[in-house]
Amino acid sequence: MARDLGAARRTGQSMVLGFLDVDGLKQVNDRHGHAAGDNTLQAVSVTLRSMLREYDLTVRYGGDEFLFSVVGATEQDARMRIEAVNAALSAAGQNSVTCGLVTIGVDETLAAAIDRADHLLYEGRPHDGP
């Protein structure tokens, strides 16, 4: 991603970073076992990659989290792609995802952008309780 960010900056393009979390993965693991959880992660990964351009970078960040970068696109374009991911996952009977999207600032580090996207993901996540 650092390489993508460097290339985007050299060419004057924007780069949108997405921090994506699989909704309800713990419940899948608890109810159906870790093999079912692994299948859910694979379904999300395949679906996410299919909704992005072939050259957009997607990585598993940890546990049930993924990062992706979209160079030369807007946050609105990335948001529409995530909506398409959720529609495809829903049609396949899979878990939905929640995503924080940020356009990386001119002098912003990749780590700072990841933290900012993580914060937005948390704000957008449905929470249990009052």
Domain hosting 38: range is 2-124
Residue 129 lies in a domain: no
Burial of 64 (0-12, 13-18, 19+ CB in 10 A): buried
Residue 100 lies in a domain: yes
Residue 74 lies in a domain: yes
Residue 48 lies in a domain: yes
The answer to whether the beta carbons of residues 99 and 124 sit under 8 Å apart is yes
Q: Which of 82, 77, 74 is nearest to 100 (CA)?
A: 82
| pTM of the shown model | 0.90
Residue 130 lies in a domain: no
Residue 70 lies in a domain: yes
Q: What's the structural domain count of the chain?
A: 1
Task: List, as one string, the DSSP characters of 15-34.
Answer: EEEEEEEETTHHHHHHHH-H
Residue 13 lies in a domain: yes
One pLDDT digit (tens) per residue for the chain, 130 residues: 999 999 999 999 999 999 999 999 999 989 999 999 999 999 999 999 999 999 999 999 988 999 999 999 999 999 999 999 999 999 999 999 999 999 999 999 999 999 999 999 988 776 544 4
Determine the Cα–Cα distance for residues 17 and 127; give it in Å rounded to an integer: 23
pLDDT of residue 88: 95
CATH label of the domain that carries residue 114: 3.30.70.270
Determine the Cα–Cα distance for residues 105 and 113; give it in Å rounded to an integer: 8
